[in-house]
A and B are shown apart, each in its own frame.
Chain A
């Protein structure tokens, strides 16, 4: 039975698509057959991050409308054998996603895949609701910053009241993923710490991704950052995927690198 995981946040620009690409790639690399679906109809970007933008022929909405089969629409990742991408439609609007239609597609995918990752659009409107409705688990992507934390709390409330699991009296398993974390600023008291965010949202922590130049460097090339073994963000995503699979992994990159005496005196 496939596990459906939504990557959501409420607020835009916090790293949902980057995280969806990293998580799905990470799961696939560990041997799990994984599909990642872009729910951001009209503003698709997962294809760019995954470097398959020129291979999109059919999209999610066309599958829902039975204008294409799933087989035609699934794009096989060039780097991992176990990974497939289902792109969002760029021309329709988000109302094209009907609950029945999305449910049918997910049911069909569930027969074949171990993990279905739903990359949610920002906001709390129809597209975001559809992305989270069928979820078994949710990864809440949050930046250590007031508006992101507040919006995360809002989306947690929606998960707890308007998801399929909630309607059935069950709970969606929630995970907190803090991204764009800057330990230097946290130490200076300029940024909320992971502990602060965890305490406010009351959601168990799954990962902390440091603010890193490597994220844009990799997105420029269409490489999910998790494939960049040398980067701190890539390693942090690898740790996160391990934890998602139930392994105990120590947290890294939570503390500022100690600067040498000279650097502290003269800057740098």
Chain B
């Protein structure tokens, strides 16, 4: 750093951007990791059943398995296209 750098425009701290991005992606990948192996396959099959009747995109079906103490909840979230 020299005297000239004082005249340069202040930059946004990139480290905080990195931290934010990492926290999001790591949290996302951890949930995927804790889910059972059959989930992606099941998601594909559910997708193909729905596709028989309506046309939807791959990411229109969200499958989540939530484990609480005494029960597991399988949550299906399907976004149907607007008419």
Say if A and B assemble together.
yes
Q: A150–B16 Cα gap in the complex (Å)?
A: 15
Query: Is B72 an interface position by the 8 A CB rule?
Result: no
Question: Which of these, A153, A161, A265, A267, contacts B26 with CB under 8 Å?
Answer: A153
Q: Which residues of B contact A48 (CB under 8 A)?
A: none
Inter-chain contact B19/A157, CB cutoff 8 Å:
no
**A-side interface residues, number (CB < 8 Å):** 22
Q: A200–B21 Cα gap in the complex (Å)?
A: 10
Chain B binder among A34-42, A87-95, A188-196: A188-196
Q: A266–B13 Cα gap in the complex (Å)?
A: 24
Residue of chain B at shortest CB distance from A267: B2
Minimum CB–CB distance for A144 against chain B, Å:
8
Q: Which residues of A contact B15 (CB under 8 A)?
A: 186, 189-193, 196
Q: A154–B2 Cα gap in the complex (Å)?
A: 41
Q: Which residues of A contact B3 (CB under 8 A)?
A: 265-267
Minimum CB–CB distance for B1 against chain A, Å:
6
Query: Is B9 an interface position by the 8 A CB rule?
Result: no
A 148-166 contacts with B by CB, 8 A: 149-150, 153-154, 157, 161
With A153-B30, A267-B2 as contacts: A146 and B21 at CB distance below 8 Å = yes
CB-CB contacts of B1-30 with A at 8 A, as 1s and 0s? Answer: 111000000000111101101110110011
The B interface, classified by DSSP as helix, strand, loop or mixed, is: helix
With A192-B19, A200-B19 as contacts: A153 and B29 at CB distance below 8 Å = yes
Q: Which residues of B contact A153 (CB under 8 A)?
A: 26, 29-30
Query: Is A258 an interface position by the 8 A CB rule?
Result: no
Q: Which residues of A contact B30 (CB under 8 A)?
A: 153, 157
Q: Which residues of B contact A186 (CB under 8 A)?
A: 15
Query: Is B33 an interface position by the 8 A CB rule?
Result: yes
Inter-chain contact B18/A264, CB cutoff 8 Å:
no
A 254-268 contacts with B by CB, 8 A: 264-267
Question: Which of these, B2, B16, B19, B26, contacts A266 with CB under 8 Å?
Answer: B2
Q: A150–B3 Cα gap in the complex (Å)?
A: 37
Q: Which residues of B contact A192 (CB under 8 A)?
A: 15, 18-19, 22
Q: Which residues of B contact A146 (CB under 8 A)?
A: 18, 21-22
Inter-chain contact A150/B25, CB cutoff 8 Å:
yes
Question: Which of these, A154, A189, A191, contacts B29 with CB under 8 Å?
Answer: A154
Q: Which residues of B contact A266 (CB under 8 A)?
A: 2-3
CB-CB contacts of B59-79 with A at 8 A, as 1s and 0s? Answer: 000000000000000000000
Q: Which residues of B contact A264 (CB under 8 A)?
A: 1
Inter-chain contact B16/A189, CB cutoff 8 Å:
yes
Residue of chain A at shortest CB distance from B2: A267
Minimum CB–CB distance for B79 against chain A, Å:
28
Residue of chain A at shortest CB distance from B25: A150
B contact residues vs A (CB 8 Å cutoff): 1-3, 13-16, 18-19, 21-23, 25-26, 29-30, 33
Q: Can you list 27 A-B contacts (CB < 8 A)? A: A145-B18, A146-B18, A146-B21, A146-B22, A150-B22, A150-B26, A153-B26, A153-B30, A157-B29, A157-B30, A157-B33, A161-B33, A188-B13, A189-B15, A189-B16, A190-B14, A191-B15, A192-B18, A192-B19, A192-B22, A196-B18, A200-B19, A200-B26, A265-B3, A266-B3, A267-B2, A267-B3
